[in-house]
Amino acid sequence: MDQHTSRELYQEANEHIVGGVNSPSRSFKGVGGGTPVFMDRGEGAHLIDVDGNRYVDFLGAYGPMITGHAHPHIQAAIAKSASEGTLLGTPTVLENTFAKMLKEAITSLEKVRFVNSGTEAVMTTIRVARAYTGRDKIIKFSGCYHGHSDLVLVAAGSGPATLGSPDSAGVTKNIAAEVVTVPFNDAEALERALTEWGSETAAVLVEPIVGNFGIVEPEEGFLEKVNELAHANGSLVIYDEVITAFRFTYGSAQELYGVQPDMTAMGKIIGGGLPIGAYGGRADIMERVAPLGPAYQAGTMSGNPASMRAGIACLEILKEEGVYEHLDHLGKLLEEGILARADRYRLPVKINRLKGALTVYFTTEEVKDYQGAEDSDGILFARFFKEMLDQGVHLAPSKYEAWFLQTAHTEADITFTLDAVDQAFQNMRELL
């Protein structure tokens, strides 16, 4: 596949933009280097690059694009906000409408606040939890990425792990000392941590389904245990549903497992492809936020009409019947097809899939925590990624990321992808 224009643009980008990219996960460092493909546009579940090459897209812009690109209903919503003014700096009825939609979908949200990114949403839940409890520490799970605010760049996965620097430079030792990290799915380790630091712990922060070292589900009873242990110590439970909100079911991960946190952070899908974040939870906790309470949080762009309209439109699409069944159906076809081909070519492949999201690990062991994902073979993944890209299938350039199915994907896209997998696996046999 000729990608010469991408190479030229990447060279130019490197002269002006640090590292040539505006988010490190877009570089190909995690797959041994190379030129990120510059896209010209997205059409449904496809991306078209600046050289005119077409790709089936499983990146989904790292999660938000569950409907596929340029969905007509979302296009219309954005066009409407463009004609009405995209930022008014006053309350608008759209904020009420969207807040009510979120509350109807996710019943633990008694009060919400809109912000502009997942990072902001998580960062603020932590501040509010500290304001509410009068405590400083948080407990998080190793390898889980919660955005790039200082506090959660300790033992973070995804971007930082792929780049081989789990702890960012510039995060002070004092801040790092406020974070206790335990392995995901390890209730005993959590109990030990809370026995030691429970009285100082403001909150336990958890992705109810991990999305950042691949898709890793909580083991039976784990989320119940998180609630029980945290609450017994007077600590709050915060769910980071930035990836999982509206991903697997309209009610989000907390509905899927029937366990409710005290606070939830959201982002990605709820913006319909525009920048957004939101957080919310119990009213008595949320009422600690300014202007009602002493915990300050603000935002010039927060609740802007464009993001509100795009988010409302996206949720309207997801509310339609059969949407999540379609994603699940295609996810299952992919999983079964990839596993059959791995078997045929004797490649060590394990897949973690939940409905329309899956991760392909090159390992012989089940992946239940960060260590498992780390043990997945990065060299095999890097080759797989490049083979797939060459054949017109765009995955995330990291062994830790998920493939995200989109409502716009069709069975024909899956057939095309599985043919590419077949060829990729066949070529990869020389690495064994």
Q: Please give the positions annotated as active site.
A: 145, 240, 268
* 397 near ligand PMP (CB under 6 A): no
* 311 near ligand PMP (CB under 6 A): no
Is the CB of 230 or the CB of 242 nearer to ligand PMP?
242
How many CB atoms within 10 Å of residue 28?
19
Helix (H, G, I), strand (E, B) or coil at 56: strand
Q: Give min distance, CB of 39 to ligand PMP, in A.
A: 18
Window 116 to 145, contacts with ligand PMP (CB under 6 A): 117-119, 122, 145
* 359 near ligand PMP (CB under 6 A): no
* 155 near ligand PMP (CB under 6 A): no
Q: Give min distance, CB of 195 to ligand PMP, in A.
A: 27
Q: Give min distance, CB of 7 to ligand PMP, in A.
A: 27
Q: Which of 361, 390, 404, 378 is nearest to 35 (CA)?
A: 390
How many CB atoms within 10 Å of residue 291?
6
Q: Among all chains, which residue has been given the structure tokens 């429970």?
A: 198
Is the CB of 212 or the CB of 252 nearer to ligand PMP?
212
Contact predicate 187/207, CB 8 Å: no
| Nearest residue to ligand PMP on Cβ basis | 118
Window 5 to 34, contacts with ligand PMP (CB under 6 A): none
Write out the DSSP string of 262-275.
SEEEEEGGGGTTS-
Write out the DSSP string of 246-300.
TTSSTTHHHHHHT---SEEEEEGGGGTTS--EEEEE-HHHHTTBTTTSSB----S
354 secondary structure, DSSP code: E
x/- site string to ligand PMP, residues 213 to 242, per CB under 6 A? ---------------------------x-x
Tokens of 90: 């006053």
358: left (phi over 0), alpha (psi -120 to 50) or beta: beta
How many positions of this chain bind ligand PMP (CB under 6 A)?
15
Q: Which of 80, 52, 45, 13 is nearest to 313 (CA)?
A: 80
* 352 near ligand PMP (CB under 6 A): no
* 272 near ligand PMP (CB under 6 A): no
Q: Which residues make up the interface to ligand PMP (CB under 6 A)?
A: 62, 117-119, 122, 145-147, 207, 211-212, 240, 242-243, 267
